[in-house]
Amino acid sequence: MKNRIFAIAVLFVGVFALLAFTVPQEKKKGGPWEIPAEYKSMENPYKGDASLDKYGKQLYSKHCRSCHGNEGKGDGPKARNLDTDPGDFSDAAWQESVSEGELYFMSIIGRDDMPNYESKIVDDEERWAVINYVRSLKQ
Amino acid sequence: MKRLITILIVLGFSGLAFGQNEESKPKDKAVWAPFESGYLIDNQTTVVPTAKTLEYIIQHKFGTMDNGFSDLFGLYAPGANIRMGLTYSVIKNLQIGYGITRLNMYNDFSAKYTILEQTRRNTIPVAVAIYANIGVDGRNNEVFGENYKGSDRFSYFTQLIVGRKVNDWLSLQVNTSFTHYNKTDSLIDHDKISVGINGRARFSPQSSILFQYDVPLKIKGIAEHREFTNPSKPNLGVGWEIRTSTHAFHIYVSTAAGIIPQHNAMFNQNDWMDGDLMIGFSITRMWSF
């Protein structure tokens, strides 16, 4: 009897250990964004406007930080509850791969886990202030 | 008292001397977030949430802190006061609301309109809002004594608020208000005029220190008695505000036990000079449509 219990325990621990190595621990990446052409070609009228920096930071702290983290690395306290990886804004390669308009669409229009912020950040200047701040997180 | 009023006026408008740091734009737009919420402890700010925003608020005040550890500074004291309310921003700068409070089972119906928004280049140097509510005392008829009439339950509060975002971290407001109760005890006036000052000092992108000081005035001209019997006392409050995308959290210490403003203006007998302070908190949740 004791041997049988020992065998079951070993089996249980073994299966658990095996699962720990085989079940993916990372969140799945979101698929490619389908961004309308009107957004892809959108220009940022406030690009380089330093007067928006502090407001961009405030808005980022209020609306984005809980998921995207202080430095935009996707490690905010709510990130663990998301189905998909929120990405890493500090990644220079990613930053260079998205245009201003694409970033606007991703940030304000959103999809799935990423909420729509059109009704929460209503002013266009505020929206671009957030985007400018996200750009500043590139390392 | 004249000196106090003078100080309030000077403080309120001294902000005019400070310029905003925002860079000029061709169109003079409203300043960014003069306050993070429409509420400031027991007061209102000049801010109305974006049009078509529904806001739910729960406000809670514990007992007075004077019993110390015996009731954990009022947290476990009997007689806590709670208000639950809903507001809706019908159009830009106009909000209507309803709430129900445990103390006197007040049902309050409110409206707030931001008449002017302060602009970045000082074309409009201050924000101006008007707030009004009608309170309906929901207790049993017997409370109102003999010759009870339905109108005995009604109280009215109107407030003019003038605010200025002085700089990125400091916003100040002054207000004056008129309170009327249709029925009060025989020695208490029906009308009260109050003044107040309040504000917020931001110390991080999401957090601010809040303060308020509301003073019910003893004005002989509108008094119904030769002497003021138990006149209402000032309401001091200091708190901490945290703002997120959809919530505002306030945790504070304040003097008055009431939550709707006319009750505090007319009946507050707690005196912060005697240590009559209580812990309270407010939580708001907003939904934008």
Which tokens belong to B163?
């605010």
Please list every residue in chain B whose beta carbon sits closer than 8 Å to the beta carbon of residue A62.
Answer: 205-206, 243-245
Structural domains in chain B, CATH included, are: 2-19+30-288 (2.40.160.40)
Q: Quick check: A55 and B32 CB within 8 A? A: yes
* Residues contacting A40, CB < 8 A, separation 6+: A99, A101, A102, A105
Predicted ipTM > 0.90: no
pLDDT digits (tens, 9 = 90+) for B95-148: 999 999 999 999 999 999 999 999 999 999 999 999 999 999 999 998 998 889
Per-residue confidence band for B24, with pLDDT thresholds at 50, 70 and 90 = very low
d(CA B124, CA B46): 14
Among all residues of chain B, which has the CA nearest to that of A67?
Answer: B245
Output the average pLDDT for chain B: 90
Q: Quick check: B243 and A62 CB within 8 A? A: yes
| Contacts for A35-41: CB closer than 8 Å, 24+ residues apart | A35/A101, A35/A102, A35/A105, A35/A106, A36/A105, A38/A101, A39/A101, A39/A102, A39/A104, A39/A105, A39/A109, A40/A99, A40/A101, A40/A102, A40/A105, A41/A101
The pLDDT of residue A8 is: 85
Q: Quick check: B33 and A58 CB within 8 A? A: yes
Q: Which CATH architecture has domain A28-136?
A: Orthogonal Bundle (1.10)
Prediction pTM value: 0.82
pLDDT digits (tens, 9 = 90+) for A21-70: 655 556 678 788 999 999 998 999 999 999 899 999 999 999 999 999 99
| Three-state secondary structure call for residue B79 | coil
Between residues A96 and A11, the one the model is more confident about? A96
Q: Quick check: B22 and A49 CB within 8 A? A: no
d(CA B51, CA B53): 6
